[in-house]
Chains A and B, each alone.
Chain A
Amino acid sequence: GQQLNQSPQSMFIQEGEDVSMNCTSSSIFNTWLWYKQDPGEGPVLLIALYKAGELTSNGRLTAQFGITRKDSFLNISASIPSDVGIYFCAGQPRSNNRKLIWGLGTSLAVNP
């Protein structure tokens, strides 16, 4: 079945550093979503992307819908301790817009 490759699997950074993570697929997607899961909580939607090339920001977070429609990127600038958590990408494939495919997550740890 369709899969999303999310990388890196985990990151350990210093407070204040910028963070980048990405999601790639072998097929075209119509929608890309980025979620964050705080420890012990359910995932929360951070950013939703609907058009190729779209660049959207939410505070220190910026996400982009890749031009090829097969990838998406999430950047976090000037990380702070509360950025700790698991970040998931999810996408709606063009071949089946009734489905949401999930990446396996990027676990982020921030050292104060």
Chain B
Amino acid sequence: EPEVTQTPSHQVTQMGQEVILRCVPISNHLYFYWYRQILGQKVEFLVSFYNNEISEKSEIFDDQFSVERPDGSNFTLKIRSTKLEDSAMYFCASRTTGADQPQHFGDGTRLSIL
């Protein structure tokens, strides 16, 4: 069964550094998402992306964050000047076209900011 693939599984970065989290969505999916889950908290929406542009973003997704689809298969989340509070699991999701289609999630990247 096709799946969403995320790399790396764990990323350790010094505070203030930039980090890029990578995702390969399911191949025929056109809608892409990033979510995060801080330890002990809910899964929170960050951003949705369709047709090469952001369609919605949460208040968390400020100028520190950006997303890109650099080629036909990858979808990336860049976090600039990381802060301690950026430590979380980051999940990528994708879905196919059509009404009431579920989002399918990758296994996540654990981001640890030191």
Q: Do A and B bind each other?
A: no
Q: Residues of B with Cβ closer than 8 Å to A?
A: none
